[in-house]
Amino acid sequence: MSIARFGGILSAVALAAACLPAAAQEAPVRIGYAIARTGPWAAGAQLTQEPNYIMWADQVNAAGGLNVKGRKRKVELVGFDDRSEAETVVRTYEKLMGSDKVDLILPPWGTGANFAVMPLIQKYGYPMIAPTATGRRLLGMKNPYFFAILQQPDRMMEALAEFLKARRVETAAVIHVDELFGLEQYTGLEAAFKEKGIRIIEKKTYPLGVKDLKPVLNDIKAKNPDAFIALSYPPDTFLVTAQAREIAFNPKAFYAAVGTAFPIYRDKLGPAVEGVMGLGTLNPKSSPAAKAYFDAHVAKHNKEPDRWASAHAWAALQVLEQAVAKVGLDRKALRDAIATGEFDTVIGKVRFKDGENVTTPGVVSQWQGREFEVVWPPDKATAPALFPKPAWR
């Protein structure tokens, strides 16, 4: 081949490369995470987080890639099953950040898993915006790379206390899972109820993986509290609801925690969920942005997101995307942008102070028909509350 011919080929290749979009010329942005696909955390993780990660990556890539300071680069998700094991969470993130050196990370599911990975994100300097981690203990670690976008326990329990006080509830019984989430939630609830003058006449703890709560419920039923609160994880939420119905324990207010906002909770328990309250944020009625998000999730995954942490998971991705567009992938600059910026998200404006989302209020939601309606605070409500709770169906 002549030199002229070889040079012509090189020129053609160079011209073709110059005509390619920037995203095609650059390596993808590799985003790593560990998430529960198996084990007891999987029910929550596979509803509230990983489907959002997948949908977000697909949407970003369909639009040409992630905007990295004005240049589009495709996104590549590097996800692993953490098997609902804290040890696997730690080992996986150590590998992703330490040896694989991914560009960004996304958080695992649940308070305990986020707690386990906290030292690593500070060690390697990766910002992490957590949509399913609650607790002052986490924020008290003062990790500059950790951001909690989910409402914290005191905010959620203050909202519940305000709602119940407005309805002249005087007594309550509480059970909680003996795990960091349950302990943190109970601390917030106890302080909020004391401030509002609501007496806790019974308090019980139970272990993760409990199979029978009927003896506890029978004991509480005999004390006849105005309100019952279960600070529960998804399997316990299903269990406590079904068993309360079995023994006809039907207080004026019945509130359960993680899992109550899941569409599968409504679908599995059917009419029995009418009037049950729980942790929430929004539903498709809350705003046009919320409606668009719900519709996109159903179109992508053929299932609805939940009405609490799913929206926060999407909002966390929106925050990350906006921060990367502003400062790129330098992790220190990214951390600073998240810490000091204000972001437009599906849950409204988000701004962090000392790692906490301080703009999203505590919310009480309640199943009415097929929708988890926001019933408190009044300015966020999508329907008036059913109070007292209707009889079990």
Together in a domain, 145 and 198: no
174 lies in a domain?
Answer: yes
Together in a domain, 82 and 114: yes
Together in a domain, 80 and 122: yes
Together in a domain, 26 and 140: yes
Together in a domain, 76 and 131: yes
Together in a domain, 104 and 164: no
Of 256, 274, 252, which is closest to residue 169 (Cα–Cα)?
252
CA 70 to chain centre: 29
pLDDT value of position 337: 98
Cβ neighbourhood burial of 27 (10 Å; 0-12, 13-18, 19+): exposed
pLDDT (tens, 9 = 90+) of the chain, 393 residues, equals 443 333 333 333 333 334 445 444 689 999 999 999 999 899 899 999 999 999 999 999 999 999 999 999 999 999 999 999 999 999 999 999 999 999 999 999 998 999 999 999 999 999 999 999 988 888 999 999 999 999 999 999 999 999 999 999 999 999 999 988 899 999 999 999 999 999 999 999 999 889 999 999 999 999 999 999 999 998 999 999 999 999 999 999 999 999 999 999 999 999 999 999 999 999 999 999 999 999 999 999 999 999 999 999 999 999 999 999 999 999 999 999 999 999 999 999 999 999 999 999 999 999 999 999 999 999 999 999 999 999 999
377 lies in a domain?
Answer: no
384 lies in a domain?
Answer: no
pTM: 0.89
Rounded Cα–Cα distance for residues 285 and 60 (Å): 25
Residue type for position 294: F
240 lies in a domain?
Answer: yes
* C-beta separation of 280 from 256 below 8 A: no
Together in a domain, 40 and 138: yes
Together in a domain, 146 and 30: yes
Q: Is 61 helix (H, G, I), strand (E, B) or coil?
A: helix
Provide the CATH number for the domain around residue 317: 3.40.50.2300
pLDDT value of position 25: 61
389 lies in a domain?
Answer: no
What is the total count of domains within the chain? 2
Range of the domain at 241: 153-262
The pair of three-digit structure tokens given for residue 116, joined into one six-digit string:
């386990």
